[in-house]
Amino acid sequence: MAKKLAVIGAGLMGSGIAQVSAQAGWDVVLRDVTDEALRRGTDGIRASYDKFVSKGKLAADEAERALGRIITTTDLDAAADADVVVEAVFEKIEVKREIFATLDELVKDDTVLASNTSAIPITKIAAATRRPERVVGTHFFSPVPMMGLCELVRGHKTSDETLAAAREFAEGVGKTCIVVNRDVAGFVTTRLISALVVEAAKLYESGVATAEDIDTACKLGFGHAMGPLATADLTGVDILLHATDNIYTESQDEKFAPPESMRRMVDAGDIGRKSGEGFYRY
C-alpha cells in the first residue's frame, strides 16, 4: 500500500515537494488555507510535469498518474492519517509552532513531523509538540524538482528512528541528503549562503566592486554556478534578508548582520527577479 504524505503549504516549495513525492509513488494531500493558493500550486505542478514530458524526461501517462495521486484541501484534519507530514509555510516561527501544535493533536503516534524551514531551529518548532523526538528538519531546495539536495536537521530531541525515516523519505523522492547534527540557526547551507551574500552586499554597498564583478569572482575563482548577488535575486532578497535576520537574532554573530542597503532594497520592493529589480535589473 502506498504511503501517505501531507504537505502543509502549496507555495513554490510545498508544491515542489508534493510533485516529486507523487512522482515517486506517494499518495499526497496538499493543504493550504485558500482554494486559490491550492489552484496556483496544482497549476504549477501540472506545468512542471508538462515541461518534463515535453523534454522526454517523463512519460505522459506517468505524469497523469502522479497528478492523480495528489489531492488538495483547506482542512488540516486531512493530515490525520499521514505517515509523513512536511510543513512548508512562511518562515515565521509563530505560524510554524501553531501548525505543529495542531498536528500533534491530529496525527498518528509514529508519524514523522518535518519542517522545510531554512533557518529556524527545529528544536523551537518541536517544543510546540508533545513528541519532539518525532520532529525533524527536511530542508529542500528550490526549485524542488531540479535541485538534488535535502538538508536533514536533527533537533535537540530528534530520535535516530525519525532521522532514518526522514532520510528514507527524502532519498526515496530522489534527493541526496546531508545531516545537520547540531541544531544551529541556518543549519549548514543557509549559514554559508547568508554569510557570502552579506559580505558580497557589503562590498557592493561600499563601492569596492560592481555586482557583476563580485559574482564573476565567485563563479570563476571558486567554481560557483551562480554568484551570491544573482543568487539573492533568484531566491528573493526579502527571503534571504529574513533568513539572515533569523540567524543573526539567534547567534548574535556580526557576519550575519545584513547591510542597511539590503533592508532599503526590500523596503523599496526591489527584491530580485520576482519584482524585476534587485542587485540586477530583469
State the sign of the Cα–Cα–Cα–Cα dihedral 252, 257, 263, 264: positive
Distance between CA atoms of 223 and 105, rounded to whole angstroms?
Answer: 47
Q: Which residues contact 28 (CB under 8 A, 6 or more apart)?
A: 4, 5, 6, 7, 18, 21, 22, 69, 70, 71
DSSP string, 44-56: HHHHHHHHHHHTT
Write out the three cell numbers for 265.
Answer: 532594497
Assess contact for 28 and 50: CB atoms under 8 A.
no
Q: Which residue has the cell 505542478?
A: 45
Tell me whether residue 118 is annotated as binding.
Answer: yes
All cell numbers assigned to 95: 505560524
User: Is 206 among the annotated ligand-binding positions?
Assistant: no
Residue with cell 512542471: 48
Judge whether 236 and 272 are in contact, CB under 8 Å: yes
Spatial distance between the Cα atoms of 84 and 75, rounded to a whole number of angstroms: 17
Of the candidates 10, 75, 7, 14, the residue with the CA atom closest to the CA atom of residue 36: 10
Is 48 annotated to bind ligand? yes
- How is residue 121 written as a grid cell? 531551529
The cell for 205 is 554597498
Which positions make up the binding site for CoA?
A: 48, 55, 118
Which positions make up the binding site?
A: 48, 55, 118
